[in-house]
Chain A
């Protein structure tokens, strides 16, 4: 009795020691691995490589915009443009209310900061510092500044730059430019050439016709849809294309995989060799992976939603084939026999004996993939060129339209969450409400 207890105790001790070792060994192994990767990925060098100025530009640009007031010192021409873009340029002779045109151009930057262009001469009144006078001349930029300058003024022979919290002023021989920063996304609804720019919502809904040719609501919708800066119409199409890719790919894969899965399921396959072959086909389709399919297909079909849909279709035929055939192997033979005993033909046996059993599994997997493929379609679009993924990469490559990038990111997240919600809703409706599958 005591011997047996001692043995048992020994065993328990060994077990405990083993578990204790495991409890320390696993975290230690993970830590060691992470340490290796820390070196392999050169994380200490990351700090040097990181471009914090890029991060700041990105962050600032994604929620604010600037308006340029620029004077060409050779021609004397003044242009006022939002983000300096042609599409955001004010027509000559017009200006936002903080710029007053005339003999002298007076730019009110707010908070007491005022810049005045009088011909070529520039005067910037900085509260608490005094006026800065500058004049571009043949020998560079002449100013009233001398001695030790604060950090927010940078002066060289040919260039004066002043950056305050209200805005920026740059003077060179050829060009004088003021930036004023505003929070928000510029011209998000209407561009300057639209009659609805600056109109209040109540004016558009209930006011007099702003554009005599069109009713206000129609005109506003048209101008919003074709906004040349934000291109809402094109963006909506791109989102639709991405969802279309996911839908066609997922549903097409399910339709193709279902009959093939019968050939690969142990209890339905007519031939063992065929079953083996079918399984390898599924493995191959899955193993090659969406990336390679995308590359191969885009060579044949060019960029666009069809390429993306086919790439998803091919990969998911493999995944669905494997999952469906596993579901088929788990069906209950009794139902099939029951249907058979009523004299049903083979097709009817499958329709009423098998399909109802696997529908819930099938549907829930297909719907889950639909949501996940919306994300894949974004990525495939970025690689081949199509849908919202393409717009996103294009906006990123220019490296200045970060407000558009953040707009697209918000839309993508909303799109995926909507698809997630939709697939969950359909799953609940179809599977609980119609468990029989008839």
Chain B
């Protein structure tokens, strides 16, 4: 204003020096962090290389051997491919079913859990931390752990995978849902409360309509993730396309045409569901409906 802060030669030397020192220190910290990061990455790769059964340098030459074998064999028996695709399609349906059911069940649990763990909406405000920690633990357990234990008890099949994925989904979606709930307006809830609505009615009529599009969008994203998870769990014995893949792989050479068909089905399913759900999510978030 009246008194210029900056002198004719670009500021008082004091301030400029101070600024330069700060900048230099910041650069040094940045450089240091970068150097540490680079060292970590390099030593990490060396270590991983050491503890791996096969070396990276030997392996990299063979990376394309297996895909080439699979493609070669599939090409040789190209006439069998449609038959294989048809044969393994029910397994794919089972995998998708596992993903869909576990997403549904998980999302329903997540809905309840998230409402119970959101400040301002919770039925039992004192239990909010308990529900939150519960969701943290559900989220932290990898699906494979629950699946393996349940396979031991219940035998192989889709149910262990479904329960395992549903537990994880409930934890993961519960956290996201409760973040959505925090932004919900409390006015409808208060309005409903003033006319004597029960907690379930308040939630169902006051909160859910506000948050449903966001819920749906997150649940669709989860569904994409769960298809992949359900294929992986099949590989450890929980049925579906992963199980078929494991069998085809263990037959080894001569059956790679089946593996190729399964790869194709899995890849196609993942891409297709990604596209569909991406499209739906776009419509939900950019106001397909008011």
A-B interaction: yes
Q: Tell me if B158 and A41 are in contact (CB < 8 A).
A: yes
Q: Tell me if B149 and A58 are in contact (CB < 8 A).
A: yes
Find residues 261-306 in chain A having any chain B CB closer than 8 Å to their own CB.
283, 286-292, 295-297, 299-306
**B165 nearest CB across to chain A (Å):** 12
Residues of chain A with a CB closer than 8 A to B1's CB: none
Q: Tell me if A409 and B141 are in contact (CB < 8 A).
A: yes
User: Is A379 located at the chain interface by the 8 A CB criterion?
Assistant: yes
User: Is B73 located at the chain interface by the 8 A CB criterion?
Assistant: no
Q: Tell me if B153 and A50 are in contact (CB < 8 A).
A: yes
Q: Residues 219-233 of chain B: 1 if any A CB is under 8 Å from the residue's CB, otherwise 0?
A: 000000000100110
User: Is A247 located at the chain interface by the 8 A CB criterion?
Assistant: yes
Task: Tell me the bound Cα distance from A289 to B47 in angstroms.
Answer: 25
The chain A residue with its CB closest to the CB of B234 is: A291
Instruction: Pick the interface stretch among A105-113, A132-140, A411-419.
Output: A411-419
Find residues 384-406 in chain A having any chain B CB closer than 8 Å to their own CB.
385-386, 389, 392-393, 396, 399, 405
Task: Tell me the bound Cα distance from A299 to B64 in angstroms.
Answer: 10
Q: What size tier do the contact residues of chain B reach? A: 35 or more
**A163 nearest CB across to chain B (Å):** 22
- Our count of residue pairs bridging A and B at CB distance below 8 angstroms stands at 177
Q: Tell me if A300 and B271 are in contact (CB < 8 A).
A: no
Q: Tell me if B144 and A379 are in contact (CB < 8 A).
A: yes
| Contact A379 to B143, CB < 8 A, known contacts A248-B41, A291-B232 | yes
Task: Tell me the bound Cα distance from A191 to B196 in angstroms.
Answer: 64
Q: Tell me if A49 and B155 are in contact (CB < 8 A).
A: yes
Q: Tell me if A289 and B66 are in contact (CB < 8 A).
A: no
Residues of chain B with a CB closer than 8 A to A247's CB: 40, 44
**A282 nearest CB across to chain B (Å):** 11
Residues of chain B with a CB closer than 8 A to A101's CB: none
User: Is A251 located at the chain interface by the 8 A CB criterion?
Assistant: yes
| Contact A300 to B65, CB < 8 A, known contacts A34-B101, A247-B44 | yes
Q: Residues 199-213 of chain B: 1 if any A CB is under 8 Å from the residue's CB, otherwise 0?
A: 000000000000000
Q: Tell me if A382 and B270 are in contact (CB < 8 A).
A: no
Q: Residues 139-153 of chain B: 1 if any A CB is under 8 Å from the residue's CB, otherwise 0?
A: 111111100110011
Residues of chain A with a CB closer than 8 A to B54's CB: 300-302, 304
State the majority secondary structure of interface residues on A: helix
Instruction: Pick the interface stretch among B5-13, B55-63, B79-87.
Output: B55-63
Q: Residues 232-243 of chain B: 1 if any A CB is under 8 Å from the residue's CB, otherwise 0?
A: 100110000010
**B279 nearest CB across to chain A (Å):** 14
User: Is A74 located at the chain interface by the 8 A CB criterion?
Assistant: no
Find residues 1-53 in chain B having any chain A CB closer than 8 Å to their own CB.
26, 30, 37, 40-41, 44-45, 47-49, 51-53
Q: Tell me if B271 and A283 are in contact (CB < 8 A).
A: yes
Set B56, B104, B149, B153: member contacting A306, Cβ < 8 A: B56
User: Is A438 located at the chain interface by the 8 A CB criterion?
Assistant: yes
Q: Tell me if A287 and B267 are in contact (CB < 8 A).
A: yes
Q: Tell me if B53 and A304 are in contact (CB < 8 A).
A: yes
User: Is B157 located at the chain interface by the 8 A CB criterion?
Assistant: yes
**A355 nearest CB across to chain B (Å):** 12
Q: Tell me if B157 and A287 are in contact (CB < 8 A).
A: no
**A295 nearest CB across to chain B (Å):** 7
| Contact A288 to B44, CB < 8 A, known contacts A51-B153, A297-B63 | no
User: Is A54 located at the chain interface by the 8 A CB criterion?
Assistant: yes
Q: Tell me if A303 and B53 are in contact (CB < 8 A).
A: yes
Q: Tell me if A405 and B142 are in contact (CB < 8 A).
A: no
| Contact A291 to B59, CB < 8 A, known contacts A58-B149, A405-B149 | no
Find residues 243-290 in chain B having any chain A CB closer than 8 Å to their own CB.
245, 249, 263, 266-267, 270-271, 274
Set B52, B144, B157: member contacting A378, Cβ < 8 A: B144
Set A296, A304, A389, A416: member contacting B48, Cβ < 8 A: A304
User: Is A6 located at the chain interface by the 8 A CB criterion?
Assistant: no
Q: Residues 247-259 of chain A: 1 if any B CB is under 8 Å from the residue's CB, otherwise 0?
A: 1100110010000
Q: Tell me if B137 and A413 are in contact (CB < 8 A).
A: yes
Residues of chain B with a CB closer than 8 A to A417's CB: 136-137, 140
Q: Tell me if B44 and A292 are in contact (CB < 8 A).
A: no
Residues of chain A with a CB closer than 8 A to B59's CB: 297, 300-302
**A201 nearest CB across to chain B (Å):** 29
Across the A-B interface, the 7 shortest Cβ-Cβ residue pairs: A302-B53, A304-B52, A302-B54, A306-B52, A301-B59, A416-B140, A299-B66
List, sorted by A's number, 19 A–B pairs whose CB atoms are closer than 8 Å.
A30-B104, A41-B162, A52-B153, A54-B152, A248-B48, A251-B41, A283-B271, A289-B231, A289-B266, A292-B263, A292-B266, A295-B249, A301-B54, A302-B52, A303-B53, A379-B143, A379-B232, A393-B236, A413-B141
Known: A295-B249, A309-B48. 13 other contacts (CB 8 A): A37-B101, A58-B149, A58-B152, A248-B44, A251-B37, A289-B228, A297-B63, A302-B54, A305-B47, A306-B52, A379-B142, A416-B140, A417-B137
